[in-house]
Structure 1
Amino acid sequence: MKKYQVVLAFILAGYLPLRAQEVPSFTKAVYVSGTDSLPYRLLYPLHYDQHKKYPIVLFLHGAGQRGKDNESPLAGVPQALTDPIGREKYPCFILVPQCAKKDVWVKFPGFPESLQATDLPTPSARAAFAQLDILISQLPIDKKRVYIMGYSMGGEGTFDFLTRQPELFAAAIPICSVSDTAKARLIHKIPVWAFHGDQDEVNNVRYSRMMIGALKKQGGKPIYTEFPGAKHNIWMQAYSQPGLFDWLFAQKRP
């Protein structure tokens, strides 16, 4: 049995109880396969019932939370999904992988002259996809309601993950991102609600404007919210946008 299968088997054996109160918040584990490894956290739905189907949210953190402590990425997860009210309103799985310290969710080798991403996913991205696939195959996850969101480096990853498996995701929330606009044709049908501050000093706002324009040119109907006077750290503002998570969980693939 592969190492990652052992890890997952332990989680499934230990955290599939009959009573919801026995399910802990954000179980901790590590995906391992060959040379790939990825620390991650997994939150089970409140009042978890293994006989029901639930959506899953893949949350990608920013560059400052890279490493292997399997703790820091949780700081950016929206409280609207993790507090008692949010967990009651939006029962779902939340997968929070942690990117390696010297890796990124997506690489743009020619940036800023080119926004072309690498042909192959980064090792951390590859591992995140693999872990998500495992969870989808072994947990009661609604395959039509797989969502992805992230900020900064995680926002970049959000758009990149969409382009690599556009048939997988039902909706996305990229925040202050950079993306490969040439791939808008692959994802224009996927519901997107993007955010950016117009004074962003890290990822210039023009990059979100370019991708939103590219999606619309392909016939897409993305939602775009730009915060006047805001710099890079806008994720809390984005999370507070009225109707954001109602919108997210209403999305469903055909």
Structure 2
Amino acid sequence: MHKSNSKQIIAILFLTLTVNFAFAQKKEFRETSVDSLTFANNRKILNSLNTDAFEKKIFIKENIQIPYRLLIPKDKSNSQKYPLVITFHNSTRIGNDNENQLEPFAKIWLRPEIYNKYQCYVIAPQFSKRSSNYEKNSEGIQVSKPSEDVFALLELIQNVEKEYPNIDTNRIYLTGYSMGGSTAQNLLHIAPDKFAAMVSVAAVPDFSNLKKVSRKNIWLIHGEKDDENPYIGSVELFSKLSSNKKMTFTTFRKLNHNNIVIPFLLTEEIPKWLFEKRN
């Protein structure tokens, strides 16, 4: 074979492999540890933030009432479009005080460096009962099913969009931890075209609309030592969405259910990842 032809073939193969790698699913393992001091310190910093910037609202539809908090972009301009983030709380925050849903994972958006750099609207709803319920499927895997309140959230979001027309409807994001991560998955499966990306942490998976979510930007985060919401659920979801080239699955080998969000509380990793995504 001619030498120049050989070089061309090698170049083509290299380009093909590079392109395939670039558009393939991403599966990563992190060895991060969280000691008790880091756990307490990171949570303390977030819990010390003043939440008054989150306005208190309530959504009412027939027999459904959903209290929620709404964060407005720090330097809001009517001539600019802003993303919208919906953040869902875990099951220990169930209630109707319109306070407790602002867990540390939701307060990320209040950190001064995030509030200044990643300006957006943030909705933090609170559920008076479980927003996602769990059951085992025919494969023996625990899966999540949405409550009726989750379906009502679509109207809540539409109302906020009407009130604030400078929301960028191509950049609406879902985030959540534990039950909240499951609820984020539920809502993405209900209305996949509505949302540009989702970060789901330590969740019980939803397999109900896999074909439609196989083209969505999804970041699954789970601790391998999670004995509350089994890690195998995220493994199965990642496997079932093998055709989704916009999916990332991050496993923390040393973390469990209770400390999985700690590495993200004082970084900009989640806001940065979300803001790069659009419909």
TM-score, normalised relative to structure 2: 0.75
Partner SS, residue 178 of structure 1: coil
Which residue does 1:9 correspond to in 2? none
Query: Which residue of structure 1 aligns with residue 246 of structure 2?
Result: 221
117, 121, 124: which one aligns with 2:149: 124
Q: Do the aligned partners of 2:143 and 2:233 also contact (CA within 8 Å) in 1? A: no
Structure 1 position 143 matched with structure 2 position 169: yes
**Which residue among 206, 216, 229 is the counterpart of 1:203?**
229
The answer to whether residue 166 in structure 2 is matched with residue 152 in structure 1 is no
Gap change, CA 1:204 and 1:110, over 3 Å in 2: closer
Q: How many residues align?
A: 225
Answer whether contact 1:115 1:180 (CA < 8 A) is retained: no
Please give the alpha-carbon distance, in whole angstroms, between the structure 1 residues aligned to 2:250 and 2:90. 19
Task: Quote how far apart the aligned CAs of 1:115 are.
Answer: 4.8
Which deviations, in whole Å up to 9, do the C-alpha atoms of 1:74-132 show, x marking residues without a partner? 123344421221111000000000011xx3222344469465655xx423212322211
The reply on whether 1:74 has 2:97 as its aligned counterpart is: no
The superposition leaves residues 147-183 of structure 1 with CA deviations (integer Å, 9 ceiling, x where unpaired) of 0000000011111110000000000000001112353
**Which stretch of structure 1 is more off in the superposition, 230-239 or 132-141?**
230-239
Give me the CA root mean square deviation: 2.0
> In 1, Cα distance between the equivalents of 2:134 and 2:196?
25
- 1:37 and 2:65 correspond: yes
- Give SS of 2:194's match: coil
One-letter amino acid matched to 2:232: R
In 2: Cα distance, 1:206 partner to 1:229 partner: 15
The structure 2 residue matched to 1:92, chosen from 102, 120, 130, is: 120
Distance verdict in 2 for CA 1:61–1:223, change over 3 Å: same
Q: Structure 1 residue 133 and structure 2 residue 158: aligned?
A: yes
User: Is structure 2 residue 80 aligned with structure 1 residue 52?
Assistant: yes
Stretches of structure 1 lacking an aligned partner (at least 5 in a row): 1-23
Aligned twin of 1:8 = none
- Map 1:237-252 to 2 at 5 A: 237-239=263-265, 243-252=269-278
Structure 2 spans left out of the alignment, 5+ residues: 1-51
Q: 1:246 to 1:39 in 2, by over 3 A?
A: same
Q: Greater CA deviation, 175-184 or 201-210?
A: 175-184
SS in 2 for 1:37: strand
Q: 2:276, 2:130 → 1: CA distance?
A: 30
Structure 1 or 2, whichever has the larger Rg, is 2
Residue 219 of structure 2 is matched in structure 1 by 193
Q: Whole-Å Cα distance in 2 between the matches of residues 242 and 126 of structure 1?
A: 30
Letter in 2 for 1:147: Y
- Relative to structure 1, the CA distance from residue 202 to residue 117 in structure 2 (aligned partners, 3 Å threshold; closer, same or farther) is closer
Q: Percent identity?
A: 26
Aligned partners of 2:181 and 2:203 also within 8 Å? yes
Check conservation: 1:104, 1:124, Cα contact below 8 A.
Answer: no
Secondary structure at the aligned position of 1:160 is classed as helix
Contact kept, 8 Å, 2:151 with 2:187, in 1: the verdict is no
Contact preservation (8 Å) 2:134, 2:204? no
How far the C-alpha of 1:30 sits from its partner, in A, is: 1.0
Amino acid corresponding to residue 74 of structure 1 in structure 2? L
In the superposition, the TM-score normalised over structure 1's length comes to 0.82
- Three-state SS of the structure 2 residue aligned to 1:74 is coil
- Higher RCO (CA-CA < 8 Å; seq separation 6+): 2
Deviation, 1:240, is 5.1
Distance in 1 (alpha carbons) for counterparts of 2:111 and 2:94? 24
Separation in 2, partners of 1:53, 1:200: 39
Is structure 2 residue 256 aligned with structure 1 residue 231? yes
Partner secondary structure for residue 51 of structure 1: coil
Deviations, residues 54-76 of structure 1 (Å, cap 9, x unaligned)? 10000000000010011011123
